[in-house]
């Protein structure tokens, strides 16, 4: 089980255009990251707030709904966030590379 997870993580990191992969736990402490610490912490903190807000929005409209995935496409990158109760998976990709 764990090996599969490791493999998948490695594969994700080696896909074309992927700049970084971050896994943070519920408190914002990074568990796995391929970026440097300051960037990781910055991404984790900011994205956590945004995810909370997004989730709040989704659930305000319909409380039975819940946020499953969040993608932010910007000029340079695309940031993809998979939120969960206990962790958050963040991948930054440059899709047009």
Return the number of the residue (25 or 36) whose C-beta is nearest another protein. Answer: 25
Integer-rounded Cα radius of gyration of the chain: 14
Which residues from 56-95 bind another protein, rule CB under 8 A? 56, 59-61, 63-64, 69, 71, 75-76, 78, 80, 82, 84, 86-87, 89, 91, 93, 95
Tell me the three state secondary structure of residue 68: coil
> With contact defined as beta carbons under 8 Å apart, do 90 and 78 qualify?
no
Instruction: Locate 25 and state its tokens.
Output: 């736990």
Torsion over CA: 35, 80, 75, 38 (sign): negative
- Which residues of the shown chain bind another protein in the complex (CB under 8 A)? 1-2, 4-5, 8-9, 11-12, 15-18, 23, 25-29, 31-32, 41, 45, 48-49, 52, 56, 59-61, 63-64, 69, 71, 75-76, 78, 80, 82, 84, 86-87, 89, 91, 93, 95-96
């Amino acid at each position: 089980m764990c090996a599969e997870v490791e493999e998948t993580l490695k594969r994700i990191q080696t896909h074309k255009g992927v700049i970084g992969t971050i896994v943070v736990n519920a408190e914002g402490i990074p568990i796995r990251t391929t970026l440097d610490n300051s960037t990781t912490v910055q991404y984790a903190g900011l994205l956590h707030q945004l995810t909370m807000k997004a989730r709040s929005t989704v659930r305000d409209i319909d409380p039975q709904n819940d946020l499953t995935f969040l993608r932010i496409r910007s000029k340079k990158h695309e940031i993809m966030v998979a939120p969960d109760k206990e962790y958050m998976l963040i991948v930054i990709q440059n899709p047009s590379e």
